[in-house]
Amino acid sequence: MVYSSAGQIAGILPSNTPLGAGTMTVRFNGSVAATGDVNVVAHSFGIFTINQQGIGPAVATDPLAGAAVYSTINSAAPGDFIDIWGTGLGAVGYPDDGPTQPGTLAYDVKVYISGQEQAVEYADRSGCCTAVDLVRVKAPNIIGCFLPVVVVVNGIPSNYASISIDPSGTACTADPTFGGPDFSQLQSGGTVDIGSIFFTRSRISIDIDVVGPQATFDQTTDAAGASYARVTLPDANAVRAFAPQGINQIGACTVFRFTGESAQYPQLVAPVPLDAGPQLSLDGPGGAEVMTKNGPGSYAASFVPDFPFLNPEGQDQFPVFPTYFEPGLTTVMAPGGADVGAHSASIVVPQDFEWLNKPAANAVINRNNGFPVNYNATGYDYVNIFGYSATMVGQDTIGAGFFCAASAAAGSFTIPAAVLQSLPQSQLTQGFPLGFLTVGGYVTDTFNSADLDVRTIVYADSSVVTVNYN
């Protein structure tokens, strides 16, 4: 036992614990307080993160600077040593309750930063504490504030965290698609006002059982939205949760886990909505439209008419929805409100994005192999690849999702096996897999507003298909 509190107990699993299914029993004052099922595996490395949630900036330190913790305002410089702290490398061959003996483990440990494998300088017990492990690498010549990092032990990937690397060794350079803010101004936390405008075209392909034989729901819909919020951050590291969804380092992937029906990247800081006016105006090749206020700080326009999902006869036919976005300049105008003054934002909508090797609905994706994605993204800034898979454990939905950002000009990207292996196997529910894969082209830009620290406008053309991660 390491410690106990009102809501948590921490202990060390002895190295000689048999592998496989077992039962954990908690006793208090000699009486059984709780029991639970556990599955003991040989390796399951977990990277410690600053927010103690297993996502976001890693607990990574500089061994040559008194173990100073790297952050977005204290970045590693290329060539610096990075000590990644965690637990779960595997069993040791000496008593767990005795002194640690660093340098005795011989597991196959790989570290990937921004998708690129790094030479491992050390991977063993930390020397400070029983069951606390340390993996040391050198910072690569890759620049970014939230570079994804994963540790793979004997083929088993850890959780995905992030590391900040910048030549200055101080505040990192924000990703060009991020739109601010200046991290050096948030060393002790601070308030960030965020404006995010997003246009989406979604192409959905799902095999579904309706009245009669199985049918494929294949539909294209357009939508426009905007949100304005004020976020009080404990430190600059927390900004990552409020970056535009899916933005990542080009050529890299990150993974997050979730419980419940939602497969969204977790936001750990509650935003306060900001008022930008009673409604927003939308104008472009598709004509003039209104983005209505559907809640504090939230505006939306939907181009899907209000009529039944199936036709009146209940046949296996689906309506064709009208679309709005056409190639050319589209502009949003906000009249201003109590919190945000009048402003406008424009973006050039390109030709349709093409996913060239899109699998059929419910196709099987082997999680042990990389999965290639081929596309035509002419006119787009980058390609975002998003997937998730879920399974049921009792009454709970347990799952994991991933984001990958790929070069638009490259025309192809392979989702690494280490990413797919982080997903649970998709459960089939009435023949319908609890797995999706989305691939889309993104155009991003910023706009002017004296009242906002982060200002982004995004157009995304994405295709979604149900898949079975197996």
List, for residues 338-363, the tens digit of each pLDDT value: 999 999 999 999 999 999 999 998 89
Every domain range in the chain assigned CATH 2.60.40:
46-165
State the CB neighbour count (10 A cutoff) for residue 196: 20
Residue 176 has pLDDT above 60, yes or no: no
Q: Of the given ranges (79-83, 279-283, 301-305, 363-367), which has the lowest mean pLDDT?
A: 301-305
Could you report the per-residue pLDDT of 4-54, keeping only the tens digit for each? 888 788 888 999 999 999 999 999 888 998 898 889 999 999 999 988 888
Average per-residue pLDDT for the chain: 86
**What is the pTM for the complete model shown?**
0.81
The CATH fold assigned to 46-165 is Immunoglobulin-like (2.60.40)
Beta bridge partners of 191: 232
- Identify whether the C-beta of residue 158 lies closer than 8 Å to the C-beta of residue 62: no
Angle made by CA atoms 237, 243, 245, in degrees to the nearest 5: 135
Place 439 in a pLDDT band, splitting at 50, 70 and 90.
very high
Tell me the three state secondary structure of residue 236. Answer: helix
**In 265-394, which ranges are E strands?**
272-273, 279-284, 287-295, 298-302, 328-334, 343-349, 354-355, 363-365, 371-376, 382-393
Rg (CA), the chain: 24
Residue 153 near residue 90, CB atoms below 8 Å: yes
Task: Please identify which residue in the block is written with the tokens 């200046």.
Answer: 182
